[in-house]
Amino acid sequence: MDSWMGLLKKDFLLMKNRFLVFLMLDLLAFGLGWYLHIKEIGFLNNPSLNWVMNENDFIKLIPLAIAIGLHVLFISFYVFMSLRKEGKQLHLWLHNPQSAYVLLGSKVVNGLIALIISLIFSFFLFFMYFLPILSELGPHIGDLTKLIMYASTNIIFASLVIGSAILFFWVLYHVFKSRIGKWSLLVILIVMILFIWGMSNFQATDIYNNLVLRGEINIEFPSFEALNFVESNVMDVDQGEDFVGLYVFNVLIFAVLFVLSAWMIEKKVEV
């Protein structure tokens, strides 16, 4: 337990400054939203309007919404940066009696914790936009919470899968590096392109659909029903559907890539 906590702490401290930069970027997106809002409506001329959510004032939400969406790449960036630091002194990281599962697990768990903190912070900032109209949100609070949880779950799953792919490619790069030297980067880029191409082709097949489109989950947001009519278009924003199979597939992809990465660290990577 001590060794695991020691590794977690080390990996956190290794990335502490980078993590603060991630949080600053969330804050920057929040600030950019305000800037766009003020540019659109004017701050000095109509100070009271700054706190009002106008019908056409969704522009304020866009930067932070994009930033929240980009969290799908969070774990991959975080884990890659952490591994890159270790890569510069591989023997220090690998001369350790802990298994590769533990060494890599600590990186992923750190990334996951940092992602969750950054998501909470981003949603908190998002919530700040709605503070002036909090009383009007009363009936929607339950559905909003459900929506945030749903979005967060999907972001976390996607981030873990992309993160495990980056982890896998980083380890594979180090396997190639000791065997083919300077060509390893080129080879790894080709392997990455083939992997993405293969996955996207596989996702277009019936086999994939039969595999993942199982265990339908209907998610309803009844209080959003009034929002279904947006500018005369009918949109089903009050409901969505998802599949347990998709989550199982993502977990399997994550597990396979993680196990392969750990195996290569133990058996193939050299310092």
Closest distance of CB 266 from another protein, Å: 6
Torsional class of 181: left (φ above 0), alpha (ψ -120 to 50), beta (otherwise): left
Query: Interface with another protein by CB under 8 A: which range of 24-32, 68-76, 176-184, 211-219?
Result: 176-184
Contact yes or no for 153/242 (Cβ under 8 A): no
Q: Rule CB under 8 A: is residue 10 a binding residue for another protein? A: yes
Residue (12 or 130) nearer to another protein, CB: 12
Contacts of 257 (CB under 8 A, 6+ apart): 164, 165, 167, 168
**Minimal distance, residue 270 CB to another protein, in Å:** 4
Interface map 82-121 toward another protein (x if CB under 8 A)? ------xxxxx-xxxxxxx---------------------
Residue 69 interacting with another protein (CB under 8 A): no
Minimum distance between the CB of residue 187 and another protein, rounded to whole angstroms?
13
Of 10-18, 22-30, 124-132, 152-160, the window that binds another protein (rule: CB under 8 A) is: 10-18
d(CA 271, CA 265): 10
Q: Which of 253, 256, 242 is nearest to 214 (CA)?
A: 242
Answer for which of 117, 193, 194, 271 binds another protein (CB under 8 A) is 271
- Site for another protein (CB under 8 A): how many residues? 31
Tokens of 136: 């009007």
**If you count them, how many residues does the chain have?**
271
Nearer to another protein, 144 or 262 (CB): 262
Smallest distance from another protein to CB 149, Å: 34
Q: How far is the CB of 180 from another protein (least distance, A)?
A: 7
Which of 179, 193, 194, 241 binds another protein (CB under 8 A)? It is 179
178 in contact with another protein (CB under 8 A): yes
Distances (CA, A) of 128 to 14, 40, 135, 139, 214: 31, 19, 13, 18, 38
Contact call for residue 7 and another protein (CB under 8 A) = yes
Burial of 192 (0-12, 13-18, 19+ CB in 10 A): middle
Q: For residues 58 and 183, which CB has a smaller minimum distance to another protein in the complex?
A: 183
- Alpha-carbon distance of 157 to 116, in angstroms, equals 12
| CA–CA separation, 169 and 76 (whole Å) | 11
Which residue's CB is nearer to another protein, number 127 or number 183? 183
**59: its two tokens:** 């522009």
Q: In angstroms, give the least distance from the CB of 143 to another protein.
A: 43
| Torsion angle in degrees (nearest 10) through CA of 53, 59, 60, 66 | 130
Could you list the residues that contact another protein (CB under 8 A)?
2-3, 5-7, 9-10, 13-14, 16, 88-92, 94-100, 178-181, 265-267, 270-271
